[in-house]
């Protein structure tokens, strides 16, 4: 029996989004939580707790301007003092009145330039934080047929992206995230992996696709997209989360654990967890009703557990069954791995590495939640609903 090389577990690193630690909600209500961070420094301290207890999350993504500070070098040092590095810089062109009818796609050159300048400012931030990736997600789109020229918007988008890409240095990358709807309801300018792929391919080698698992129509075979993008060498990163209906931003692996298994199978199969892989795993989640730090701990553990199950797939037997046309046999090999309870093995693995065998229990026992609830009064909102 040959299984996947389980050094994939050693290579597993999951980036936490700063905004997961802030209060968030829906357009109906944002519920506050005691101890919610008031500053990006406090968000980083909370992220450090997740890494301290799991050993899985050494980097934190920032969202600009949500996480704007005067001194990014100081912020990077602060993260370093907490055992973390600053990761992906996410741009934000969706909360400014000027972008009502688009940002990088806008018909007005002044608005387009403002959006481009925002991305250039994000690249400057990356220089100071030591971040590799600029992640672009655009809310650009239209609601009514005729409202905008679909083709013209694509042309302007290509031109704006090319201008931004010229400023990306040799050790940096641009990742373009797609989403099939929301906030636009008719046309979204980067709705699918094909559109993102077309744009990043035109830009060059250091431009890649970002796949957010919540950004597809129900029923989409996401693992197929993963396999295809890896095959094309253009899968740059994941935004992991799970969903029952739309872009719910729930804990990864919560709504459909089997889907996460199938996705991670293709990631491992395609070399996405090999040493030096270009695929960055990130979370993009909001914890509206559950506690945030345990929510992040649960999330990274879910990814680790599912990766461990994938590593158990008997790859020799699977290939043999596939080539013999043994449909049920091949399927059983996948299901045997999926149904294996890897939790005791991972608890032992953690203990051997000086980590708590049960990170959630260790967090509950740590008293950290009480300390931050006493210290922090008046938490900030993460600014994004579902
Ligand atoms: C948009 O739905 C998105 O997935 C983008 O990644 C944003 O940056 C993020 O959500 C904000 O939570
Ligand atoms: Mn996302
Ligand atoms: Mn999203």
Residue 189 to residue 209: CA distance in whole angstroms: 15
Q: pLDDT value at position 328?
A: 98
Q: Residues 258-280, buried b or exposed e (16+ Cβ, 10 A)?
A: ebbbbbbbbbbbbebbeeebbbb
Instruction: State the Cα–Cα distance between residues 120 and 117, nearest whole angstrom.
Output: 5
- Closest ligand 1 atom, residue 286 Cα: 12
The 10 Å Cβ neighbour count of residue 228 is: 16
Distance 214 CA to ligand 3 centre (A): 6
| Nearest Cα residue to atom 10 of ligand 1 | 284
Ligand 1 centroid distance, CA of 186 (Å): 19
DSSP-derived letter for residue 91 is: P
Res 139 pLDDT > 70: yes
Length of the chain: 386
The number of the ligand 1 atom at minimal distance from the alpha carbon of 182 is 2
Task: Say if ligand 1 is within 6 A of residue 247 CB.
Answer: yes
> Which domains does the chain carry?
11-292 (3.20.20.150)
The pLDDT of residue 94 is above 60: yes
Tell me what percent of the residues of the chain surpass a pLDDT of 70: 98
Pocket probe mutation, ligand 1, options 93, 137, 214, 245, max atoms within 8 Å of Cβ: 137
Q: Which ligand is nearest to the CA of 243?
A: 3
Write phi, then psi, for 149 (nearest 5 degrees): -90, 105
- Local structure of 37: helix, strand or coil: coil
Residue 32 has pLDDT above 70, yes or no: yes
State the helix-helix crossing angle for 343-352 and 292-311, rounded to 10 degrees: 110
Cα–Cα distance for residue pair 142/100, rounded to 1 Å = 10
> Among residues 184, 135, 142, which one has the least CA distance to residue 164?
135
Reported as a single tens digit per residue, the pLDDT across 156-195 is 999 999 999 999 999 999 999 999 999 999 999 999 999 9
Answer yes or no: are the C-beta atoms of 243 and 277 closer than 8 Å.
Answer: no
Backbone angles phi and psi of 70, in degrees to 5:
-75, -35
Confirm or reject: Cβ of 179 under 6 Å from ligand 1.
yes
Q: Atom 7 of ligand 1 has which residue's CA nearest to it?
A: 137
pLDDT at position 286 is 96
With contact defined as beta carbons under 8 Å apart, do 12 and 56 qualify? yes
Question: According to the model, what pLDDT value does residue 380 have?
Answer: 66
pLDDT score of 3: 87
Q: For residue 265, name the pLDDT band (cuts at 50, 70, 90).
A: very high
Residue 385 has pLDDT above 50, yes or no: no
When pLDDT is cut at 50, 70 and 90, the band that residue 18 belongs to is: very high
Cβ of 133 less than 6 Å from ligand 1: no
Beta-sheet pairing, 85-90 with 59-63: parallel
| pLDDT at 347 (0 to 100) | 97
Protein residue with its CA nearest to atom 3 in ligand 1: 137
Q: Which atom of ligand 1 approaches the CA of 19 most closely?
A: 12
Q: Is the pLDDT of residue 6 over 60?
A: yes
The span from the first CA to the last CA of the chain, in angstroms, equals 44
Mean pLDDT computed over 292-318: 98
How remote is the CA of residue 137 from the centroid of ligand 3, in Å?
A: 9
pLDDT for 28 beyond 60: yes
Residue 67 beta carbon below 6 angstroms from any ligand 1 atom: no
Judge if the beta carbon of residue 384 lies within 6 A of ligand 1.
yes
Share of the chain above pLDDT 90, in %: 95
Q: Which pLDDT score, from 0 to 100, does residue 381 have?
A: 61
For ligand 1, pick from 22, 118, 122, 212 the residue to mutate: most ligand atoms within 8 Å of CB: 212
Ligand 2 midpoint to CA 90 (Å): 9
**Residue 137 Cα to ligand 1 middle (Å):** 7
As given in the structure block, the two tokens for residue 122 are 């994000």
Q: Find the DSSP H helices in the chain.
A: 7-11, 40-54, 72-81, 109-129, 150-165, 193-203, 222-231, 257-269, 292-311, 315-323, 327-338, 343-352, 359-366, 368-375
Please state, as a whole number, how many other Cβ atoms lie within 10 Å of the Cβ of residue 315: 18
Mean per-residue pLDDT of the chain: 96
Threshold 0.95, pTM exceeds: yes
State whether the beta carbon of 189 lies less than 6 angstroms from ligand 1. Answer: no
Q: Is the pLDDT of residue 386 over 80?
A: no
Ligand 1 in reach of 212 Cβ (< 6 A): yes
pLDDT, residue 45, reads: 98
Give the span between the Cα atoms of 58 and 52, in whole angstroms. Answer: 9
pLDDT value of residue 384: 56
Contacts of 350 (CB under 8 A, 6+ apart): 54, 55, 356, 357, 359
CB 88 within 8 A of CB 61: yes
Q: How many CB atoms lie within 10 A of CB 134?
A: 27
Residue with tokens 């909360």: 95
Q: Cβ distance 188 to 144 under 8 Å?
A: no
- Ligand of minimum distance to the alpha carbon of 249: 3
For the record, the structure tokens of 317 come out as 């037997």
Q: Are 28 and 367 in contact (CB under 8 A)?
A: no
pLDDT tens figures, 349-384: 999 999 999 999 999 999 999 999 999 987 666 655
Which 8-state DSSP code applies to residue 30?
B
Strand 141-142 vs strand 187-188: parallel, antiparallel, or unpaired?
antiparallel
Angstrom distance (rounded) from CA 363 to CA 353: 17
Pairwise CA distance, residues 236 & 132, whole Å: 11
């Amino acid at each position: 029996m040959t299984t996947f090389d389980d050094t994939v577990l050693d290579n597993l690193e999951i980036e936490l989004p700063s905004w997961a630690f802030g209060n968030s909600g829906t357009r109906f209500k944002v519920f506050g939580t005691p101890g919610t961070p008031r500053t990006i420094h406090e968000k980083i301290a909370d992220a450090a707790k997740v890494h301290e207890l799991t050993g899985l999350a050494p980097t934190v993504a920032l969202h600009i301007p949500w996480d704007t500070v005067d001194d990014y070098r100081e912020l990077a040092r602060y993260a370093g003092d907490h055992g973390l590095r600053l990761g992906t810089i996410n741009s934000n062109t969706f909360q400014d009145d000027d972008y009502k009818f688009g940002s990088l796609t806008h018909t007005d050159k002044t608005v387009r330039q403002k959006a481009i300048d925002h991305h250039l400012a994000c690249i400057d931030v990356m220089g100071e934080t030591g971040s590799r990736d600029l992640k672009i997600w655009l809310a650009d789109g239209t609601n009514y047929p005729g409202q905008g020229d679909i083709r013209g918007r694509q042309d302007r988008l290509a031109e704006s992206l090319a201008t931004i890409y010229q400023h990306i240095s040799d050790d940096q990358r641009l990742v373009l995230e797609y989403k099939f709807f929301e906030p636009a309801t008719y046309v979204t300018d980067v709705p699918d992996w094909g559109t993102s792929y077309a744009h990043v391919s035109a830009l060059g080698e250091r431009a890649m696709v970002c796949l957010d698992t919540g950004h597809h129509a129900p029923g989409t075979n996401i693992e197929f997209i993963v396999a295809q993008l890896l095959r094309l060498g253009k899968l740059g990163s994941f935004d992991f989360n799970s969903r029952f209906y739309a872009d719910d931003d729930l804990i990864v692996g919560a709504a459909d654990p089997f889907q996460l298994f199938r996705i991670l199978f293709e990631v491992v199969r395609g070399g996405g967890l090999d040493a030096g892989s270009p695929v960055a795993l990130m979370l993009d989640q909001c914890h509206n009703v559950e506690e945030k730090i345990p929510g992040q701990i649960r999330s990274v553990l879910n990814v680790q557990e599912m990766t461990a199950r994938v590593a158990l797939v008997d790859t020799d037997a699977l290939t043999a069954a596939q080539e013999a046309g043994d449909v049920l046999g091949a399927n059983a090999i996948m299901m045997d791995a999926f149904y294996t309870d890897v939790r005791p093995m991972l608890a032992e693995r953690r203990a051997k590495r000086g980590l708590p065998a049960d990170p959630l229990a260790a967090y509950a026992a740590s008293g950290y939640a009480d300390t931050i609830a006493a210290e922090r009064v008046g938490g900030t909102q993460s600014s994004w609903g579902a």
